[in-house]
Structure 1
């Protein structure tokens, strides 16, 4: 599960930095030697088999089910704003339950066993749910909400066991971080990779780190000069207020807050900083109109990538297993290594949305596939004009292995079933959220009408 930073701003904050999902390993510790062994043992033949398996897995995928998050009867007690039909902005699956969150703030839970809606998660008429997070550590769903009674300006977190939701008892959970003041510009960030929660209280300029397993407070960082905190495996990067020619930085242990390194990075005067990102021992710094700088904080060796080769992306996805990172810019996706070299450019993978909405992108836990909502191939005469396609591509080769579009088999001829509001081509129009359930081998998509569609073999 990627880190989810939710801001207390009245308007949802779309975070630019996310982390690809990582399936927990059976062994508690994986040594560097074993990682290298696995990398050396993996051959092209193995990769070819894996790609063939992926092609077969998605070859005959079709529309199987449709869920609706809008129910005028059930939502009649909610605020007028919440009663309106609105687009799906987030989908999360846990066990056999699919959670769909609409832009208006209504969250519904559906069972894949019965294909029925279980319940709505809004606990009060003025609750607007802003984001969802599945905590696999204790098999629970965390909802982050704002309330009309607080002018929608303060975040409130609540955790509910999946078992309670399955029974139709969403009110059986309990509140989290009640002592924290998470008013704008405060935020909460869930980091599944390190098993931590980061909160920021703007009232006293304090960052706090909690254990994601039991929500106990581990330590806090109180410093008005800290402008931003970035989390990567094992460490936190503290970015301080810049001077005219440098930016002070600190690297902390994510476990106990111990300062591991303090230093300043030189900057070009009077140039805006586009981004500062940390990935293990690598620091990425980009200023407006300047080259990308990749600094190894262990020995301060600096690598520069020409600004004409690496232009500022709108979003990153860091691939911890592969020691690579994805960049998103102008609907295109690219893969880079930390030597500043372009590893992969994707074929037939033009994203539908011009702004990178990471809720429309899924990276598999093995980090070998990217599943995205894309523009349909203009050369495909069988595709509907207004419908996009769900593309499954190899991250290492950039090849499109499979796609779900209105021209798949006879799907374009499929009429609207009595239980569906959308045909296949309509279900592929303006998809606003996408999620892949790796356990069930199913893709879930949501659209602007508040409908959720299930695609599987």
Structure 2
């Protein structure tokens, strides 16, 4: 679903650039299939799609619980904070394996076939894992870590085949980008949309683009005046140091780094730039207390949206399939088109985390649903203020199609018969599991939602 940028910083503060993954379409080979594709579309069957989505989540319930904290298994870790229970900050699922990363830096892999922990992915006693990325191109998991022996100063990447992890052999992988010095303010960014990896070595000021399939170096960009790089399908936007009345920009081919267009965008003097974002041929520019500008870089056509209608969001998600984009501001979500028109406002979808932590939301690959951890209905007196809900909403209509909340009669717990010789299957009740969720992931193949909380527990919601 997303591209992920991880900054090289001694402190745990990952920066994420979210890109809703583009679906792979199989080209039709005959007229019958062309007609089928034209007639059977998500728009033409929107009512059916919404009904199907509601059924998909109607009887979802708390089915399983995993724990990332195990003092018996953490004995070999040198760092004291790795041995402590801490909240889940990231969940990734691949091939019936659920990976859960705790804020401490411990990462555990659990099997949905056996419902048991397979292994911990920390292979060094002083390793602190910072982030995860599932590389579907070669069915492997990339871990980005820092190490105490290096004073947590630089990022180290490692790729491990999912099959090795399934066998309980997390040390069967190999290191990536060893030639790169990824010290602060260096970074590594994984771009699933284009199948590329972007690294920045602050030591020599060079950006490098690698192939995500085999990690071969494709080309380098060396320019000390580059301030930021934004990735969009097929292209990269290079943002240079701002001049007095404009900002120099270049658009490059993501495949070989060829310059496709170089131009200057005029700016209001003495006003800071809130953001510059690129979406295909559209450039979005917003300055402090100014209107949003949407520039078509092909023909220089400019559209402006009033600053009172479009206020600076805290985050974006671009929907490449639907030619729309989501904005997040103060816990609310809105959908816009590139004519600057508000398409959708969501009903009953106030995010629990107002800063839009992207690990707490999920956009489906069809880009029709958003699954989020939300605040419970304020009019519902039966739910305590510390308990939220998992909301499933239609992106194009804003309608809430389904909700998992503590007092829903459809939300039940699979309980085993009491056995005093075994630990309880669930440490948490449904209400406990819905309290202060810190990470969320939806497995589209299994139709399961995975959530993590502050206790380091991972809960499986399934029907």
TM-score by length of 2: 0.94
Does structure 2 retain, via aligned residues, the 8 Å contact 1:346–1:398? Answer: yes
Partners of 2:262 and 2:27 lie apart in 1 by 33
Partners of 1:359 and 1:24 lie apart in 2 by 24
- Aligned residue number for residue 309 of structure 2: 309
- Aligned residue number for residue 74 of structure 1: 73
Aligned pairs (5 A) from 1:318-329: 318-329=318-329
Give 3-state SS (helix, strand or coil) of 2:18's partner. Answer: strand
Match status 1:146 vs 2:152: no
- Aligned pairs, number: 452
Structure 2 residue aligned with 1:450, among 452, 456, 463? 456
Q: Which runs of 5+ in 1 are unaligned?
A: none
Give 3-state SS (helix, strand or coil) of 1:17's partner. Answer: coil
Task: Give 1:384 deviation, angstroms.
Answer: 3.8
Aligned pairs (5 A) from 1:23-422: 23-27=23-27, 42=41, 46-78=45-77, 79-409=79-409, 411=411, 418-422=424-428
C-alpha offsets along residues 35-87 of structure 1, whole Å, 9 cap, x if unaligned?
Answer: x9967864765100000000000011010000000001101121101111100
Match status 1:429 vs 2:435: yes
C-alpha offsets along residues 265-308 of structure 1, whole Å, 9 cap, x if unaligned?
Answer: 00000000000000000000000110000000000110000000
Partners of 1:130 and 1:450 lie apart in 2 by 15
Partners of 2:191 and 2:342 lie apart in 1 by 28
State which drifts further: 38-47 or 394-403. Answer: 38-47
Give 3-state SS (helix, strand or coil) of 1:298's partner. Answer: coil
Give 3-state SS (helix, strand or coil) of 1:52's partner. Answer: helix
State which drifts further: 409-418 or 395-404. Answer: 409-418
Partners of 1:56 and 1:318 lie apart in 2 by 27
TM-score by length of 1: 0.96
Task: Give 1:13 deviation, angstroms.
Answer: 3.5
Task: Give 1:195 deviation, angstroms.
Answer: 0.3
Task: Give 1:383 deviation, angstroms.
Answer: 3.0
Partners of 2:402 and 2:292 lie apart in 1 by 34
Does structure 2 retain, via aligned residues, the 8 Å contact 1:415–1:423? Answer: no
Task: Give 1:385 deviation, angstroms.
Answer: 3.4
Task: Give 1:27 deviation, angstroms.
Answer: 3.9
Task: Give 1:17 deviation, angstroms.
Answer: 3.2
Partners of 2:12 and 2:323 lie apart in 1 by 30
CA 1:43–1:187: 2 relative to 1, 3 Å: closer
Does structure 2 retain, via aligned residues, the 8 Å contact 1:16–1:315? Answer: no
Task: Give 1:244 deviation, angstroms.
Answer: 1.3
Does structure 2 retain, via aligned residues, the 8 Å contact 1:412–1:425? Answer: no
Partners of 1:421 and 1:239 lie apart in 2 by 49
CA 1:153–1:47: 2 relative to 1, 3 Å: same
Give 3-state SS (helix, strand or coil) of 1:48's partner. Answer: helix
Structure 2 residue aligned with 1:441, among 443, 447, 454? 447
Does structure 2 retain, via aligned residues, the 8 Å contact 1:18–1:317? Answer: yes
Task: Give 1:444 deviation, angstroms.
Answer: 0.1
**Aligned-residue CA RMSD in angstroms?**
1.9
Task: Give 1:24 deviation, angstroms.
Answer: 2.6
Task: Give 1:378 deviation, angstroms.
Answer: 1.7
Partners of 2:394 and 2:288 lie apart in 1 by 31
Does structure 2 retain, via aligned residues, the 8 Å contact 1:406–1:412? Answer: no
Give 3-state SS (helix, strand or coil) of 2:165's partner. Answer: helix
Partners of 1:412 and 1:356 lie apart in 2 by 29
C-alpha offsets along residues 207-240 of structure 1, whole Å, 9 cap, x if unaligned?
Answer: 0000000000000000100000000000000000
Task: Give 1:344 deviation, angstroms.
Answer: 0.1
CA 1:199–1:16: 2 relative to 1, 3 Å: closer
